[in-house]
Amino acid sequence: MAVLDEAGAERLSRFLALVLRHRAPQFDLDMDDEGFVYLDDLLDVIDERQSALDWVEAEHIEALAQRGGGRRRFEVKGDQVRATYGHSFHRPIRYPAVEPPEHLFIGVAKTKTPDLQKEGLRPDRRQYVHLSESEEEAREVGQHHSDNVSVITIRAREAHKAGFPFHHPTEGIYLTSRVSPEYLNLEVSFGRSPKKGRRRR
């Protein structure tokens, strides 16, 4: 197995995320319904478009796919590779449906909670909503996008039984295309909170 230093892994990971999550059609890569492309085709793209990555060979991509412990951003299967989650292009990526745990979590900006109460969870710029298995992780992910985060609990198993599909492409992440509001535990307050210490006269 090839050895990747941190700088090389970061550069390669960023480029693979760009291509496999967001721009595979622009790079003329033949992607199947599960998001896989052939390693040789991807290496051709790297050779043509990324002189800074001219050292990359198939074993470097395989080594990158093994990094990160249980949660893996990329998956190599035979002579193909894919991003495991995070896709934004229009062609939907298909995953097997699974039964989720009883609860899943997502961290969202507090300003968005009234919208969730009306519309439920829907993808923003990605194909799926990304859900975490713990409140702590959901808060950490949410804080990448907002400083003022609410952690929403999804009654996932109940939603699954009602017909909302869930997917589990890699450890620590569940995906769903939508969840309606009745399966979300929301705490939404309206208006201003009363000021402490003020007395009526």
Q: Are residues 78 and 124 in the same domain?
A: no
C-alpha dist (Å) from residue 176 to 4, 162, 197: 33, 13, 45
Tens-digit pLDDT profile for residues 106-139 = 999 988 888 898 999 998 788 899 999 999 999 9
- CATH code, domain with 150: 3.20.170.30
Q: Are residues 33 and 65 in the same domain?
A: yes
Find the range with the poorest average confidence among 8-17, 106-115, 183-192: 183-192
Residue 69 in any domain: the answer is yes
- CATH code, domain with 19: 1.10.10.970
* Mean pLDDT, rounded, for 91-103: 92
Q: Are residues 70 and 111 in the same domain?
A: no
Q: How far apart are the first and last CA of the chain?
A: 77
pTM above 0.95, yes or no: no
Q: Are residues 130 and 70 in the same domain?
A: no
Give the count of beta carbons closer than 10 Å to the beta carbon of residue 27: 18
Distance between alpha carbon 46 and the CA centroid of its chain, in Å?
24
The parent domain of residue 34 ranges over: 6-83
Q: What's 35's DSSP letter?
A: S
**Do residues 172 and 191 touch, judged by C-beta distance below 8 A?**
no
Tens-digit pLDDT profile for residues 28-83 = 899 999 999 999 999 999 998 888 898 999 999 999 998 866 678 899 999 999 99
Tens-digit pLDDT profile for residues 130-158 = 999 999 999 998 887 788 889 999 999 99
Q: Is the pLDDT of residue 197 over 50?
A: no
Q: Is the pLDDT of residue 190 over 50?
A: no
Count of the separate structural domains present in the chain: 2
* DSSP codes, 1-22: -----HHHHHHHHHHHHIIIII
Angle at which helices 39-49 and 58-66 pack, to 10 degrees? 110
